[in-house]
Structure 1
Amino acid sequence: METKVIAFSGSLRKESYTTKLLKAFQKSAPVGITVEIIDISTLPFINEDLEADLPQPVKDLHAKIKSADAVIFATPEYNRSYSPVLKNAIDWGSRPEGNNLWKTKPATIIGCSPYSLGAFGAVNHLRQVVLYVNLYIMQQPEFYLSFIADSMDEQGNITKKETQDFINGHWKAFGEWIEKFNSTKNN
């Protein structure tokens, strides 16, 4: 049975390292797991006035979340936090009130940076939010990638064996995490 993972990049920049990292994860997915990267650039800002007649991008997001077995959040770090576009997507996925579509889905957070901390602050800040919406966030192993530009070429292909091994190791743990929660749902 195919496991469907939806993935979100917290960067909208065309040549985003975060999106390139997410695509590297997509290419490295183990057999039996498919990864769909969801475009969140068209989501309107969260606004309860829109909840009576949800905009189509929000309806599309809801459909993607409902159909998913698990979630990956990829975040850059902006001022020691994650990006507003990720927060907006998470909020829409938990609204309208009483309609939290995230609850009980296994999830992981990955972060990267062209600098030395690898989005450590952003990943840990984002954990607080996803815990509240009751995602089953994988705590270990953590994934922070510093100096990402040194690990990939301009097309986003991973060029360092250590980085690819890091991605593969995270996938191994995340695959087991997904299986743990999805097997209990099917029993």
Structure 2
Amino acid sequence: MSKPNIGIIVGSNSQSSINMQLAKALTKLVSDQANFEIIDITKLPFYNRDEDDNTPKAFVDFKALIGSKDGILFVTPEHNRSVPALLKNALDGGSRPFKQGAWNGIPAGVIGTSPGGPATSMAQQHLRNILVFLDMPTMQQPEGFIQWKDGLVDANGNIGTASHDYLNTWMQKFLAWVEKHPRQKQ
């Protein structure tokens, strides 16, 4: 496979999102090995099943963008022990109408950060359950429950020295996962 095209979906709409900071820093670790694009989900309308026969243009465009990727990296915070509503909306809208989902067969990775000790473990577990249903082969190991601490991402937007080796290995394994599970075109 030539350089894979990886879409990054950050489950936060916060202007100061630590997960967005993490996502951007992760791409720097392997920027020579893949093409990365952050896919903005903040402008998507609320998914409504009543519109399945006349899908809003925002979701048509979103699904086309998802369909152009060889892999998807989800970088998510945790809201109330689950995935943020923003992310769930993107997953739902991108999966519809029935049997016309954009996610099918795209390999995925899941990671996230939070100041708390368990980081985003519960959100990631819920997200993995959703991705199974969406038929996205998802990397299981290593897990990426990253506690946000000073220095995780430095002032230049790079992964700090304390976490560099672990997160570099994580990204290497994610890219190997994408290569091992080439997207199944529908």
Aligned length: 184
Higher helix share: 1
- Alpha-carbon separation, structure 1, partners of 2:149 and 2:92: 28
TM-score (norm 1): 0.91
Identity of aligned residues (%): 35
- SS of the equivalent of 1:136 reads coil
Residue 51 (structure 1) shift = 2.2
Give ranges in structure 1 of 5+ residues lacking alignment.
none
**1:94 is aligned with what amino acid?**
S
Q: Which residue of 2 aligns with 1:78?
A: 79
For the 8 Å contact 1:102–1:135, the answer to whether it is kept is: yes
Residue 120 (structure 1) shift = 1.1
TM-score (norm 2): 0.92
- Alpha-carbon separation, structure 2, partners of 1:148 and 1:119: 14
Q: Deviations over 1:34-57 (max 9, x none)?
A: 110000011111101222222221
Q: Do the aligned partners of residues 101 and 60 (structure 1) sit closer, same or farther apart at CA in structure 2, a change above 3 Å counting?
A: same
Q: Do the aligned partners of residues 149 and 16 (structure 1) sit closer, same or farther apart at CA in structure 2, a change above 3 Å counting?
A: farther
- Alpha-carbon separation, structure 2, partners of 1:115 and 1:175: 27
For the 8 Å contact 2:19–2:76, the answer to whether it is kept is: yes
Bigger mean CA offset, 26-35 vs 63-72: 26-35
Residue 145 (structure 1) shift = 0.7
Q: Deviations over 1:1-54 (max 9, x none)?
A: 221000100010001001111111222225331110000011111101222222
Give ranges in structure 2 of 5+ residues lacking alignment.
none
Q: Do the aligned partners of residues 30 and 156 (structure 1) sit closer, same or farther apart at CA in structure 2, a change above 3 Å counting?
A: closer
Q: Deviations over 1:88-125 (max 9, x none)?
A: 11111110111122111110000110121111111111
For the 8 Å contact 2:28–2:158, the answer to whether it is kept is: no
Q: Which residue of 2 aligns with 1:130?
A: 131
The Cα RMSD (Å) is 1.8
Q: Which residue of 2 aligns with 1:93?
A: 94
Bigger mean CA offset, 6-15 vs 147-156: 147-156
- SS of the equivalent of 2:35 reads strand
